[in-house]
Amino acid sequence: MDYLYPPKRLLFLAPEQVQAWVRAKREREDREDEDRPPLRGLDTIPSDAYREVVAVGLYVSNVDHALQKPLRDRAEAEPEGALRNGPGIFLCPERVLSWGDRHGIDPSLVLDKVYYHELAHAFMDTGPTPYDELWGRIVEESLANWLSYQRFSGKEARWVQRLIQDEPAEYQGYLAVGQWAGWWPSTEDGTDLIRAAHFWFRGFFTGLGGRRLPRWVYRELWETYEAFIRRWYRILEWGFPVPPLLPILPLNSTQIKDGLVPVQIWRRAKARNLLTEDENRWFWARLAERVLEETFA
């Protein structure tokens, strides 16, 4: 597993560090009005302390021949049908057993949790994941844990929550990432909502081949849509459900509470290669910041 695991995914945010960062950020906001870049002041650090609970499973988008040969050389045995070309999920039984033993949790439950987490990465593998960016790791890992957590209920769900508490801060935003407060940054004049809506608006028309639209047509459509959003803004703040403004922008409160909304939007953003654009990067970084604040406040 250590051979397979990418080094850039072994840099972590310690929860204690994030808690101190959130406190300092709020104290600073009380004194200053300055608009700072999202996640400023947070740095990942290499830590073997988290290796045992992170490098337990790994999703690989393509187990090609170049990867298969060194794996066969290192393996003591090869199960029938293993190491075929294509996507694959690798699990480390020793670390699964060790993790379960530390908390007195059935190893089969630990295995299920890890497997569903990696399966979530596979589900969201629609395009390049920006793991080199802190905000990309926070969003991807929080959503993967959210999808995994949904597979459990009752006592099992509580045990899974206990396991997640062992993980780095990037993984712990699984509850906040699907909530309204974490998903829609808000300001008194609705500016952030407008910027977010513009993001979805562009993605929607890109999906319809909107890049071929004349610029003036796109501009007229956006100005009309923006005016419509501003009229609805106060109603949104009051908490009333409203009709969807676009097929990929559901604003009905019952839909927003379903974490599949951010999952699907994240999948589409990766599929359309939208995560390289400055406006989109700002939005996801802001979302990641809010997720950490909601989780570690």
Which residue, chain included where needed, has tokens 């996801």? 284
Q: Are 128 and 195 within one domain? A: no
Specify if 90 maps to a domain. Answer: yes
Q: Are 149 and 210 within one domain? A: no
Specify if 35 maps to a domain. Answer: yes
How much is the pLDDT for 209?
41
Which residue, chain included where needed, has tokens 């407008």? 194
How much is the pLDDT for 259?
59
Q: Are 149 and 221 within one domain? A: no
Q: Are 230 and 164 within one domain? A: no
CA distance linking residue 220 with residue 217, whole number of Å: 5
Q: Are 162 and 201 within one domain? A: no
Would you say 55 and 1 are in contact if contact means Cβ atoms under 8 Å apart?
yes
Specify if 64 maps to a domain. Answer: yes
Domain boundary among 155, 172, 189: 172
Q: Are 22 and 121 within one domain? A: yes
Q: Are 262 and 281 within one domain? A: yes
Specify if 272 maps to a domain. Answer: yes
Choose among 180, 199, 193: nearest CA to 231.
193
Rounded alpha-carbon distances, angstroms, from residue 173 to 105, 181, 233, 291, 295: 22, 13, 27, 6, 6
Q: Are 161 and 226 within one domain? A: no
Q: What is the pLDDT along the chain (297 residues), one digit of tens a residue?
A: 888 888 877 888 889 989 999 988 888 765 655 567 888 888 777 677 788 888 899 999 888 877 777 777 777 666 555 667 789 899 999 999 999 999 999 999 999 999 999 999 999 999 999 998 999 999 999 999 999 999 999 999 999 999 999 999 999 999 988 664 344 444 444 555 555 565 555 555 554 444 455 666 666 776 776 666 666 655 555 555 444 444 444 444 444 445 576 787 788 889 888 888 776 788 788 889 889 998 998
Q: Are 149 and 79 within one domain? A: yes
For residue 246, the enclosing domain spans: 180-296
Specify if 1 maps to a domain. Answer: no
CA distance linking residue 158 with residue 163, whole number of Å: 9
How much is the pLDDT for 114?
98
Number of Cβ atoms within 10 Å of the Cβ of 253: 13
Q: Are 108 and 248 within one domain? A: no
User: How far is residue 247 CA from its own chain's centroid?
Assistant: 21
Q: Are 99 and 61 within one domain? A: yes
Q: Are 149 and 192 within one domain? A: no
Two structure tokens written together for 158: 């509580």
Specify if 150 maps to a domain. Answer: yes
Contacts 24+ apart (CB under 8 A), 95-103: 95/1, 95/52, 95/53, 95/55, 95/56, 96/56, 98/52, 99/52, 99/53, 99/56, 99/163, 99/166, 103/159, 103/162, 103/163
Would you say 265 and 248 are in contact if contact means Cβ atoms under 8 Å apart?
yes
Two structure tokens written together for 40: 């400023």
CA distance linking residue 117 with residue 144, whole number of Å: 5
Specify if 234 maps to a domain. Answer: yes
pTM: 0.75
Helix and strand numbers, DSSP H then E, in the chain: 13, 4
- The total number of structural domains in the chain stands at 2
Specify if 2 maps to a domain. Answer: no
Domain boundary among 172, 206, 230: 172
Domain boundary among 121, 155, 172: 172
